[in-house]
Amino acid sequence: MLESYLNFKDYGATGDGRADDTAALNECMKEAQRTKQVCYLPSGTYRVRNTLCIGSKESNKLLVIQGTGNSVIYTDDDIDMARTNTDGKVKIKEVSFRHEGKSGSCLYLDDGFGHDLYGCSFSNITGNISTMLIFNGSYTDIVNCAFENAEPESYSINCTTIPGKININSNIFDCRIYGTGKGLLINSSENNRPEGLKVARNMFLNTGKEQITVNSILHLDISNNMLDQSSKVSILIDPKMQGICQCH
């Protein structure tokens, strides 16, 4: 078991799927980051009514959130469910993000870089066209995660950039993307583009019209993936903005 950890339930989270656990989750994460402890999320369904702020601007220390595989962060509101809010590194393990609202992302890895997701899962509902997982920072690792995309116009993952911030050398490995939606979108803001993304050993089984869509990147490696059952295109090379260079 974890040697030094804080339990979300000790901060008032119920995990019953009905009560609003937003404040309790935020408070536990803030304290764990400040004291360099691990946030432990026991099995349960933790409902949030406002966007979770993962991490604190007051600290640049590592924040680790450890679930059980049956630890679910859930909303049925039209919100972005969770967003990084720290210049420190965030590592999330074995947590499910279940979005049942009509709009809003599951998780936005926005502030900071070097974030890791291991063994997490993501799901949405038909009608929510928001991208499920978005990241714009360098050295992001998304490993052994599952994406159940129920909306044909929604992307499961978006690797992108924002002005003035580099997104370089990130990895998407050993993931499973399925459902009726679209898969991975790689794009950029103006005068910027991702660089050095590796996409390997993933299973793209989504039946949406695109499985991997490439708009803008410098150096992309796509290798040893399974791409099957797309209703239209497995890999769409569609240069936009800064264009595409060295796509393998």
Q: What is the full DSSP assignment across 179-212?
A: ESSEEEEE---TT---EEEEEES-EE---SSEEE
Q: Give me the pLDDT at residue 97, please.
A: 99
Q: Give me the pLDDT at residue 56, please.
A: 86
- Distance, in Å, from the CA atom of 17 to the CA atom of 45, rounded to the nearest integer, reads 5
Q: Which has the minimum average pLDDT: 2-6, 96-100, 144-148? A: 2-6
* Widest Cα–Cα separation across the chain: 50
Average pLDDT on 182-206 reads 96
Best CA proximity match to 39, nearest among 23, 52, 55: 55
- Distance, in Å, from the CA atom of 227 to the CA atom of 224, rounded to the nearest integer, reads 10
Report residue 145 as tokens.
């995660």
- Strand 52-54 with 38-40, pairing: unpaired
Judge whether 48 and 74 are in contact, CB under 8 Å: yes
Q: Give residue 227's pLDDT band: very low, low, confident or very high (50, 70, 90).
A: very high
- Distance, in Å, from the CA atom of 197 to the CA atom of 40, rounded to the nearest integer, reads 30
Partner residues linked to 179 by β-bridges: 149
Mind listing the domains of the chain with CATH numbers? 5-247 (2.160.20.10)
* Eight-class DSSP state of 130: S
Per residue in 73-94, pLDDT tens? 999 999 999 999 998 899 999 9
Q: Give residue 3's pLDDT band: very low, low, confident or very high (50, 70, 90).
A: low
Per residue in 89-121, pLDDT tens? 999 999 999 999 999 999 999 988 899 999 999
Q: Give me the pLDDT at residue 240, please.
A: 92
Best CA proximity match to 96, nearest among 128, 77, 74: 74
Backbone angles phi, psi at 8, to 5 degrees: -55, -35
Q: Give me the pLDDT at residue 190, please.
A: 86
Best CA proximity match to 173, nearest among 242, 224, 230: 224
Q: Give me the pLDDT at residue 1, please.
A: 45
